[in-house]
Amino acid sequence: MLNQVSEGVLVHQSELLRNNTVVVQGADGVLLADPGITGDEMACLANDLRGLGQPVVAGFATHPDWDHVLWHAELGDAPRYGTARCAAYLRDLRSDADWEARIAEGLPPEIADETPLDLFGLITGLPAEAAQIPWDGPTVRILEHQGHAPGHAGLWVEERGVLVAGDMLSDVFIPMLDDLNGTNDPIEDYLAALRLFEGVADDVDVLIPGHGSVARADEVRARIEQDRAYVHALRDARDPDDPRIGPSAKPGWEWVSDIHAGQAQRFGGSRDRDGTPG
């Protein structure tokens, strides 16, 4: 089901991981960001768009995680864009003869048989200097950073006051850092991404995270600060006071604490106790 969150911007949320597919209406059709995650859900999305008389004229993947680069034949054959780094990562992945088996092994077992991979990851990389998505609709600025995943991009639809955050600023997922980006400091990569979002925060009316609840203007800075506090605690090897993990986690999302435990082992204490970078 599509829900309008701002003028000309709608959201379709998946059942299992609460992925938010973002629909931005343009002159001749819609821009579709991060569709997913089961075949039935994508077919339902396509049906909803047909009911609105809105064909898909462009797609965009905010980053190369499996649940953000899916597609369904019923959505059509519009160009599917991503950043150059996102597209390059997916090309490398698909060049492995066993890529499909590797992706299938990592799918949640509840939906492993329901997630089509035939159109997985077929993303066209935009030029590295591209500042916006090429399409006939509201200007959608690309806010590229290296927090969470290679070539991750937020989308800023300024005319609508909408920030699409990808896998950041969620009320159900803690910040998930990426140590495969080719940099030596995934902590700083993530903090830099938060500063990038902070640069538009005062103008945001609606924040759409990759997973979880849509936030309104008065919640945006709180989401940024919550993510920053978690990353600082991780860096300093402190136990984070974060409602997304531990006893206060949302029912059914207790497993996010396991993600934290793994990150604490990999990234915890990247700064010495006296504050000196370690």
2-267 falls under which CATH superfamily?
Ribonuclease Z/Hydroxyacylglutathione hydrolase-like (3.60.15.10)
pLDDT at 232 over 70: yes
Higher pLDDT, 3 or 36: 3
pLDDT at 118 > cutoff 70: yes
- Size of the chain, expressed as the number of residues it contains: 278
Q: How confident is the model at residue 205 (pLDDT cuts 50, 70, 90)?
A: very high
Place of tokens 């920030």: 163
pLDDT of residue 178: 83
pLDDT at 24 over 70: yes
- DSSP code of 74? G
When pLDDT is cut at 50, 70 and 90, the band that residue 272 belongs to is very low
Which is higher by pLDDT, 270 or 99? Answer: 99
How much of the chain exceeds pLDDT 90, in percent? 91
Q: Which long-range contacts (CB under 8 A, 24 or more apart) does 264-273 make?
A: 264/234, 264/237, 266/177, 266/179, 267/177, 267/179, 267/186, 267/187, 267/234, 267/235, 268/234, 268/235, 268/237, 269/235, 269/236, 269/237, 270/185, 270/187, 270/234, 270/235, 271/235, 271/236, 273/236, 273/237
State pLDDT tens for residues 144-201: 999 999 999 999 999 999 999 999 999 999 999 986 655 678 999 999 999 999 999 9
Residue boundaries of the structural domains of the chain: 2-267
pLDDT score of 273 more than 60: no
- Would the pTM count as exceeding 0.85? yes
Average pLDDT estimate for 76-101: 97
